[in-house]
Structure 1
Amino acid sequence: MDQHLQVFVAVAEKRNFSRAAEELHMTQPSVSQYIRMLEEKFGTKLLERTNKYVRLNKAGEIVYHHAKEILGLYTKTQTLIDDLMNQAKGPLSIGASYTFGEYVLPRILAKLHKTYPDLEPALTIGNTAKIAHLVTSHQLDIGIVEGNFKDKQLYVEDFAEDYMVVVASPDHEFVRRDGYIATRELEEEMWIVRELGSGTREATEKMFEEIGISPERKINVGSTQSIKEVVEEGLGISLLSQWAVQKELKNGDLKIIKVKGLPFSRQFSIITQTPFQTKSLEVFKNLLYKERLSVGGAEVE
Structure 2
Amino acid sequence: MRYSLRQLEVFLAAAHFENITKAAQNLSMSQSAASSALKELEQQFDIQLFDRVGKRLQLNELGRLLRPRAASLLAQAQELEIALQQHQQPGNLKVGATLSIGNYLAVNLMAQYMASQPDAKVTLDVENTAAIARKVVNFELDVGLVEGEIQHPELEVIPWREDELVVFASCNHPLAAAGKVLDDQALKSANWILRETGSGTRQTFDRIMSGILPELNVLLELQHTEAIKRAVEAGMGLGCLSRVTLEDAFSRGALVPLAIPHRNTRRLFYFILHKQKYRSAGVSRWLQLCREASDADAPA
Task: State TM-score, norm by structure 1.
Answer: 0.76
1:35 and 2:38 matched: yes
How much has 1:6 moved relative to structure 2? 1.6
- 1:224-243 equivalences under 5 Å are 224-225=224-225, 226-243=227-244
Aligned-residue Cα RMSD (Å) equals 3.8
How much has 1:72 moved relative to structure 2? 3.6
Instruction: Give ranges in structure 2 of 5+ residues lacking alignment.
Output: none
Alpha-carbon distance change, 262 to 280 in structure 1, aligned in 2, over 3 angstroms: same
Q: Which amino acid aligns with 1:217?
A: N
CA distance in 1 between counterparts of 2:53 and 2:180 reads 68
Deviates more, 1:241-250 or 1:289-298: 289-298
CA distance in 2 between counterparts of 1:44 and 1:154 reads 27
- 1:187-206 equivalences under 5 Å are 187-206=188-207
CA distance in 1 between counterparts of 2:295 and 2:37 reads 51
- 1:38-117 equivalences under 5 Å are 38-41=41-44, 42-44=46-48, 46=50, 48=52, 54-57=55-58, 59=60, 63=63, 66-67=66-67, 69-79=69-79, 82-83=82-83, 87-117=88-118
8 Å CA contact retained: 1:88, 1:119: no
Alpha-carbon distance change, 4 to 127 in structure 1, aligned in 2, over 3 angstroms: same
8 Å CA contact retained: 1:21, 1:31: yes
After superposition, the C-alpha distances for 1:263-293 in whole angstroms (9 at most, x for unaligned) are: 8321223345489854323322221122114
Instruction: Give ranges in structure 1 of 5+ residues lacking alignment.
Output: none
How much has 1:255 moved relative to structure 2? 2.1
Residue 209 of structure 2 aligns to a residue whose secondary structure is helix
Residue 221 of structure 1 aligns to a residue whose secondary structure is strand
8 Å CA contact retained: 2:169, 2:233: yes
CA distance in 2 between counterparts of 1:151 and 1:46 reads 24
1:7 and 2:21 matched: no
8 Å CA contact retained: 1:165, 1:262: no
After superposition, the C-alpha distances for 1:209-249 in whole angstroms (9 at most, x for unaligned) are: 38x67633113514142322322222110111012223433
Q: Which amino acid aligns with 2:192?
A: W
- 1:184-263 equivalences under 5 Å are 184-209=185-210, 215-225=215-225, 226-261=227-262
Q: In the alignment, which residue of structure 2 is the partner of 1:265? A: 266
Alpha-carbon distance change, 5 to 255 in structure 1, aligned in 2, over 3 angstroms: same
CA distance in 1 between counterparts of 2:187 and 2:235 reads 15
Alpha-carbon distance change, 266 to 171 in structure 1, aligned in 2, over 3 angstroms: same
After superposition, the C-alpha distances for 1:93-143 in whole angstroms (9 at most, x for unaligned) are: 334344323431122112211221222334345555665666577665433
8 Å CA contact retained: 1:146, 1:267: yes
1:290 and 2:292 matched: yes
How much has 1:204 moved relative to structure 2? 1.4
Q: In the alignment, which residue of structure 2 is the partner of 1:119? A: 120
How much has 1:49 moved relative to structure 2? 6.7
Q: Which amino acid aligns with 1:24?
A: L
How much has 1:4 moved relative to structure 2? 1.8
Alpha-carbon distance change, 178 to 127 in structure 1, aligned in 2, over 3 angstroms: closer
After superposition, the C-alpha distances for 1:193-213 in whole angstroms (9 at most, x for unaligned) are: 223343212221232238x67
Q: State the identity as a percent.
A: 27
Task: State TM-score, norm by structure 2.
Answer: 0.76
